[in-house]
């Protein structure tokens, strides 16, 4: 009987890990989006193999500056730790920025917090009924920010 216990333990440890089910909520971002408003360009979201991370590729222009980058979105799991409860991301840009965010999707409202949840820097937008547009604005501490609309092109 002891062998059966060890066999079951070994099998349990061989089960591949599964992505957190809350990541499925981000499926509505998958595709290519054309940006308009105070920022113009294109962003594309796709799942990384395994389904643990959503990748965003950015090619935008804002106030005459080209912004290109990649963002990795998912549950952070530091070495030897359990995955984070929050969906976090890190954005890497052609200007050398590495920016951290926290994603929240409640119903049709997407909030992206700059840095940590509750930050005074955040984006809040609402998906259209058909899910093919997302309209909202970035808000910055001390005022400022910009409005943007994303429209799904594929």
At the top level of CATH, the class of 30-152 is mainly beta
Q: DSSP secondary structure string, 98-127?
A: EEEEEEEEETTEEEEEESSTT-SSEEEEEE
Cβ–Cβ under 8 Å, residues 136 and 123: yes
For the chain, how many helices (H) and strands (E)?
Answer: 1, 10
**pLDDT tens-digit profile of 66-90?**
999 999 999 998 898 888 899 999 9
Tell me 63's DSSP state: T
**pLDDT tens-digit profile of 99-136?**
999 999 999 999 999 999 999 999 999 999 999 999 99
Does the model's pTM come out above 0.85?
A: yes
């Amino acid at each position: 009987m002891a062998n059966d216990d060890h066999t079951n333990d070994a099998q349990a440890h061989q089960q591949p890990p599964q992505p957190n089910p809350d990541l499925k909520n981000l499926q509505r971002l998958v595709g290519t989006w054309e940006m308009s408003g105070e920022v113009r360009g294109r962003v594309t979201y796709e799942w990384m193999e395994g389904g643990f991370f959503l990748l965003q590729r950015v090619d935008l222009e804002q106030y005459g500056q080209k912004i290109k980058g990649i963002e990795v979105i998912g549950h952070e799991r530091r070495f030897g730790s359990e995955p984070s409860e929050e969906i976090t991301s890190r954005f890497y840009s052609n200007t050398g920025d590495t920016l951290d965010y926290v994603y929240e999707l409640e119903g049709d409202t997407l909030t992206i917090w700059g840095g940590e949840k509750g930050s005074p820097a955040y984006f809040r937008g609402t998906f259209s009924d058909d899910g093919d547009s997302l309209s909202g604005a970035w808000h910055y501490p001390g005022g400022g920010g910009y409005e943007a609309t994303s429209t799904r092109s594929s």
